[in-house]
Amino acid sequence: MSPDPQDTPRTSLLLRVLLLGGGTLSLVLGVIGAFVPLLPTTPLVLLAAGCYARSWPPAHRWLRGNRFLGPICRSAEEGRYLPPRTKVVAIGLTLLSFTVTIVFALRGWPLRCALATLGIILLAWLLHLPSRPPAAVRVEGSEDERPPE
């Protein structure tokens, strides 16, 4: 039985392995963040979903179907936006948690630089996500609804 072409990403093996490892690390940190203050859950779970989507689609499907983490992934992927309040909170908590961790918890410049790089990538990705849904996705009465122009 040949593999499903949809399950075979068009990226190199090395890149898929790196994305899978990064996605798994991000997911583990995101789950821990659900219980530990200052560690942002939403951006880390979304980062994991993006890594899984490009490295191993079965893991991405599992994450989207997960009872607890799936709604985070589906809302961001299907609408391709984060509500403005969620985006501001995610960016603020990401900045705060990464800064506190880098300044107070890590020893040695290599670890600090690695975490700072991950934080910059995560913030760039969060800033890249739109704060408003496309017009076709807007729900009447939601915080994202804009008045007609």
pLDDT in tens, 33-56: 888 766 788 889 999 999 999 999
**Which pLDDT belongs to residue 146?**
46
Q: Is 137 a member of any domain?
A: no
Q: Is 26 a member of any domain?
A: yes
Residue 19 CB coordination number (10 Å): 20
**Which pLDDT belongs to residue 89?**
84
Q: 49-52: which pairs have CB atoms within 8 A and are 24 or more residues apart? A: 49/23, 49/73, 49/76, 49/77, 50/23, 50/125, 51/19, 51/20, 51/22, 51/23, 51/26, 52/19, 52/20, 52/23
Domain count, the chain: 1
Q: Is 10 a member of any domain?
A: yes
Percentage of the chain lying above the pLDDT 70 cut: 80
C-alpha to C-alpha distance for 46 and 126, rounded to whole angstroms? 9
In the three-class reduction of DSSP (H, G, I as helix; E, B as strand; rest coil), residue 69 is classed as: coil
Range of the domain at 69: 5-128
**pLDDT, tens digit, 9 for 90 and up, residues 96-116:** 888 988 999 888 999 899 889
Yes or no: say if 22 and 84 are a contact pair by the CB < 8 Å rule: no
